[in-house]
Structure 1
Amino acid sequence: MPRLDLLIAHNLGLSRGQVTRAVRAGRVQTPEGEPLRDPGLKIAPSALPQTVIFAHEPLVLRVRYHLLQHKPVGVVTALRDDRHRTAYELVRGAPLGRDLRAVGRLDLDTSGLLLWTTEGALLHRLTHPRYAVRRTYQAALTGPWRAAARARARRRPPPRDPRPPPARRRRGPPRPPRARRTGALASITIASGKFHEVRRIFAALGAEVLGLCRVSFGPLELPRDLAAGEHREIDLHALFAGTLHPAPLARAKRPMKCRPTRCSRTIDMSEETPGAGSGIPHEQHSSRMGSLSEKTGDSSPCDPESRRELHLRVGARIACTEAEGPGRRFAVWVQGCDLRCPGCCNPEFFARDGGDSVAVATLADELRAARDIHAITGLTVLGGEPSEQAEAVAALCKSARDLGLGTLVFTGRTLAELQAMPEARALLDAADTLVDGRFDARRREPPDGRRWIGSTNQQIVHLTPRHADPALWRGRDHVELQIDAAGRLTAHGAPDLLRRLLKYVVKTRDFFTATSSPCPSPTAS
């Protein structure tokens, strides 16, 4: 626990000897006026921040401090600079101002939300690309961006004339640069903070950025009532609680395969060989497609109390998708299936010894983080066969229910078969909706049929009214694109559109490699 003299010295920037003498002289008192004469008095961290009276002035003792600043244009993110005013000058007078460090950087001509903290470990977690904290920017552009091929053609420099240009003389004072008008507004979300990344992304799309403002960082949004140059205290630990989970490490990649069935594929833009990628299946026995950024890391218990914790064998998972059921959902593909339906697009999930063993508590924490960050509305469990891990899947669905999320389970077994399995009764109690029955490749669901259903023999069983609205299950499927923090593009959706999209991505591979943008495609706002 921190000592009284060290806390005062840390908060006031005094030496420990100066504080010790002041304490013993009775110059440090409680708010009630009682003197504190023991410099080594221990103060519990849970009791901080705490107010004392030092030299007849109130002093708030802190061990950490975080603040949110609205950085104005024309200010650099630095502690000192010889040419420009620094953002640190605007927060220097805050508590523990000597220890404040900026969370990331904003350019000289970029404004918006900038976080400051005194904790190095927290700063690392908020800025390291592995944790993939999302940042959203609003940009004023010279005009709408063009298609990739058109943008590349227009970026080619004209042939150079070997002759030197004739000298020109201009009479009178130089003309001021002509102000350019904003041609389009856009918002873009990225999960890393590389040098001039947003500007380079739009430049690759053929649009120049005239103005840029960061409007959100993770769950934090720039307050509308906070003027440029002002700041306010916040608690980053409370705001980011349970959300700073490291992104999974990349695994060995396999050649991309385009099957004629509905599927999901991930293409690694860092590869130089055209056509290489990472084939990741998408759907359960219902030929349900998936949206998988990559397989997730193993999470094993390391303390005696967690040895009895339920674990789920997971083939893959994704925090937010709109292609796995109604609304935004957290999707989990379980590993292992004894049914092995012919024509299933997920043969990688058949083997029981594949995937990773992940604690249900870890998945529940990720669910909570996805709800807070992505505003998901439900959990979808596919596979593999969820009923073969019924106890763990039921516990995960119950955790989702406790968070106010709906639960949707795709299973190859029928409702009658599940009701005859004692271990599956808890799963039926925790699920809101089942899509049951084997996938039959000879009886595929027509394009204008039910959404998210693989074959016509499969039934939608509503165990609660949560997803019972027939309108949720009508309409055509779509293709969804995601780019993760490692720069891999994941495409999934309707098979015909997906095949055409994959061919286009392979043809334009050089363009995506040049931009290397770990973010969704920018959308006009």
Structure 2
Amino acid sequence: MVNYLTICYYNHKKVHQLIKKRIIVVNGRTVRTPKEKVAETDEVTINGGKTAYQKCHYFLMNKPKGVLSTTENRSQRTVISLLDPQDRYQGIVPVGRLDKDTTDLLLLTNDGQLNHELLAPNKHVAKIYHAKIAGVADSNTVKTFATGMTLGDGTKLKTVTFNVLKQDVENGSSEIEIEISEGKYHQIKRMFSAVGMEVVELERVSMGKLRLPDDLKRGEYVEIDVDEIK
């Protein structure tokens, strides 16, 4: 039941709430447990309204700068607006959020179960980013990140894998690769700010086993199979 309704309709928490209210009915029978099996051909109603099963879709996008990772916004472009009209299926959302000016890999799907699995903290899905930094990152910076950090507001972070790709001591800049498994708000920017540096550019290069195709340009996307994600 949870898998069925999280495809296009609700998140896990909402589905459990609806089940507790006893307002989900399958083939005339009230659903009382999240583990109940539902087939594509079953008739499902929620509070008297019929639902229709929809196929799961998965889009891998090369997100450009200046675009919001949200489903709608009245004044600014969103990643949904970059999809062709025929690909804007009900329930399509970005898996996690990239900041407005963060670029590259972003997955969009209407598969609520997969979305939950990729974002759940206990799943530890690794995400790798490349960043240009105003500041000279060195071995001391690597050690600081590797031992775990507590930010100024008390937020505790797990240890982070961090490599310096390039240093420019004369101009006071660095290029780095960083791997995180959490998804704290503005996490990477806040981490570097805590050590007196600024993230100038940030791009996500991988999420789990996902990587962008070399020929996928900024603002473009491609539909992929779920087997490419898991």
Moved over 6 A (4+): none
Where relative contact order (Cα < 8 A, 6+ residues apart) is larger, the structure is: 2
TM-superposition CA deviations, 1:433-481 (whole Å, max 9, x none) = xxxxxxxxxxxxxxxxxxxxxxxxxxxxxxxxxxxxxxxxxxxxxxxxx
Does the CA contact (< 8 Å) of 1:182 and 1:210 recur in 2? no
Paired amino acid for 2:60 = L
* Cross-structure match for 2:179: 189
- 1:62 CA displacement: 6.3
CA distance in 1, matches of 2:70, 2:88: 17
**Residues 182 and 116 of structure 1: CA distance in aligned 2, closer, same or farther (over 3 Å):** farther
- 1:120 CA displacement: 0.8
Q: Give % identity.
A: 35
Paired amino acid for 2:198 = E
Which among 113, 119, 126 is matched to residue 105 of structure 2? 113
* Cross-structure match for 1:66: 58
Paired amino acid for 1:208 = E
TM-superposition CA deviations, 1:232-279 (whole Å, max 9, x none) = 00112x1244xxxxxxxxxxxxxxxxxxxxxxxxxxxxxxxxxxxxxx
Does the CA contact (< 8 Å) of 1:70 and 1:230 recur in 2? yes
- 1:121 CA displacement: 1.0
Secondary structure of the structure 2 residue equivalent to 1:97: coil
Does the CA contact (< 8 Å) of 2:64 and 2:104 recur in 1? yes
With structure 1 as the length reference, what TM-score do the two structures score?
A: 0.27
Count of matched residue pairs:
153
* Cross-structure match for 2:77: 85
Paired amino acid for 1:217 = M
- 1:189 CA displacement: 0.5
* Cross-structure match for 2:206: 216
TM-superposition CA deviations, 1:75-134 (whole Å, max 9, x none) = 001111133211110115243523211100001111110001111111100111111111
CA distance in 1, matches of 2:212, 2:190: 24
- 2:213 corresponds to 1:226: no
CA distance in 2, matches of 1:62, 1:81: 25
Does the CA contact (< 8 Å) of 2:136 and 2:172 recur in 1? no
Which among 189, 203, 208 is matched to residue 199 of structure 1? 189
Secondary structure of the structure 2 residue equivalent to 1:115: strand
- 2:118 corresponds to 1:126: yes
Does the CA contact (< 8 Å) of 2:132 and 2:176 recur in 1? yes
- 1:214 CA displacement: 0.4
TM-superposition CA deviations, 1:404-441 (whole Å, max 9, x none) = xxxxxxxxxxxxxxxxxxxxxxxxxxxxxxxxxxxxxx
* Cross-structure match for 1:141: 133
TM-superposition CA deviations, 1:194-247 (whole Å, max 9, x none) = 1100111122232210000001010011222101110000112x1244xxxxxx
Q: Cα RMSD over matched residues?
A: 2.6
* Cross-structure match for 2:228: 239
Unaligned runs of 5+ in 2: 1-7, 9-38, 42-52, 145-170
Paired amino acid for 1:212 = L
Does the CA contact (< 8 Å) of 1:64 and 1:96 recur in 2? no
Matches within 5 A, 1:438-477: none
Secondary structure of the structure 1 residue equivalent to 2:191: helix
CA distance in 2, matches of 1:228, 1:116: 15
Matches within 5 A, 1:414-429: none
CA distance in 1, matches of 2:82, 2:72: 12
Paired amino acid for 2:78 = T
Matches within 5 A, 1:275-424: none
With structure 2 as the length reference, what TM-score do the two structures score?
A: 0.60
Paired amino acid for 1:100 = I
Secondary structure of the structure 2 residue equivalent to 1:184: strand
TM-superposition CA deviations, 1:300-359 (whole Å, max 9, x none) = xxxxxxxxxxxxxxxxxxxxxxxxxxxxxxxxxxxxxxxxxxxxxxxxxxxxxxxxxxxx
- 1:190 CA displacement: 0.3
Unaligned runs of 5+ in 1: 1-9, 11-41, 45-60, 152-180, 242-525
Secondary structure of the structure 2 residue equivalent to 1:140: strand
Paired amino acid for 1:239 = E
- 1:67 CA displacement: 0.7
CA distance in 1, matches of 2:100, 2:86: 22
